Amino acid sequence: MSTKRVAVRFSAEGGDQVRAAFEGMGESGEREMRRISASVEMASRRLDSIGRQMQVVGGAITAAGAAAALAIRSQINAADDMGKAAQRLGVPVEALSQLRYAAELSGVSVGSLDTAIQRLSRQMVDGADKFAALGVQVRGADGELRGTVDVIADVADVLAEMPDGAEKTALMISLMGRSAADLIPLLNQGGGAMREAAAEADRLGITISDAMFRASERTNDAITRMQAAMTGLTTQIVSEMAPMIADLAEWVSELVQNFAALEPETQRVIAT
């Protein structure tokens, strides 16, 4: 009897009938039955193993998906926050994201950098003579104020040539406020290093464009609206159900009180 014919017969008839048929074939039939049983058992073990592996793979895929979703939301928030910070500071979001990267490489905190940018922006309007004394122009050929980040780079070129000391620190503070002292590691590298960091940020894909900020802002706003809608829906459902829940609570309370007022024997009968 071929293996194919045995497999067909095994699947077509009940297990007991097949076993009886093999036993009727004598010793060769019993050997065939044992071989098939062993094959079935091995197949079962393999299926169990595959099932366990699939569970592991499924868990890994789920974890990877959750991590990816978290990373995406984190990037959306970062782009949104960067864009809003750029609006507050009055600088392009691309330039701010690049300058913050340069500051990070120099160990300068975001807070110190942002404060210095704000102070320098005001000085560009109210203290243009201070920049002129350094040979730094705050206005372009068209008479319009230059970009704050470009002016910072020019100031850094000047400061990088000055020796560290009280005079240099005083000059920095007069242009950028007290937080400027924290920017010394960044400014001492000169404007060239800032421009190189900006180019590197582009190559790494971490420069946040205005389009990216706008898209992230819309996404976050949509998520906020969705969350508000879900909260409103929950509030409405609870509001509609509140009277029913109150009636149910009163009914249960009354039922418990009535049960407690019964004779002990009656309580036992009801309980059983």
Per-residue pLDDT of the chain (272 residues; tens, 9 = 90+): 444 444 444 444 445 555 555 555 556 655 655 665 666 566 566 656 665 665 665 566 566 556 655 667 777 888 888 889 999 998 999 999 999 999 999 999 999 999 999 999 888 888 888 888 889 998 988 888 888 889 999 999 998 888 888 888 888 888 888 888 888 889 999 999 999 999 999 999 999 988 988 888 888 888 889 888 888 888 888 888 888 888 888 888 888 887 788 788 777 777 77
What are the backbone angles phi and psi of residue 134, rounded to the nearest 5°?
A: -95, -5
User: Which value, to the nearest 10 degrees, does the dihedral of the CA atoms of residues 26, 32, 33, 36 take?
Assistant: 180
List of long-range contacts for 207-211, beta carbons under 8 Å, 24+ apart: 207/94, 207/97, 207/98, 207/101, 208/78, 208/79, 208/82, 208/83, 208/93, 208/94, 208/97, 209/93, 209/94, 210/83, 210/92, 210/93, 210/94
**Helices (DSSP H) in 90-133: which residue ranges?**
93-106, 110-126, 128-133
Whole-angstrom Cα distance, residue 27 to residue 64? 55
Plot region of 247 (φ>0 → left; ψ -120 to 50 → alpha; else → beta): alpha
Partners of residue 145 on adjacent β-strands: 139
Whole-angstrom Cα distance, residue 181 to residue 203? 30
Whole-angstrom Cα distance, residue 150 to residue 198? 12
pLDDT of 132 reads: 87
pLDDT of 157 reads: 92
pLDDT of 8 reads: 41
pLDDT of 4 reads: 42
pLDDT of 47 reads: 57
Q: What is the pTM of this model?
A: 0.59
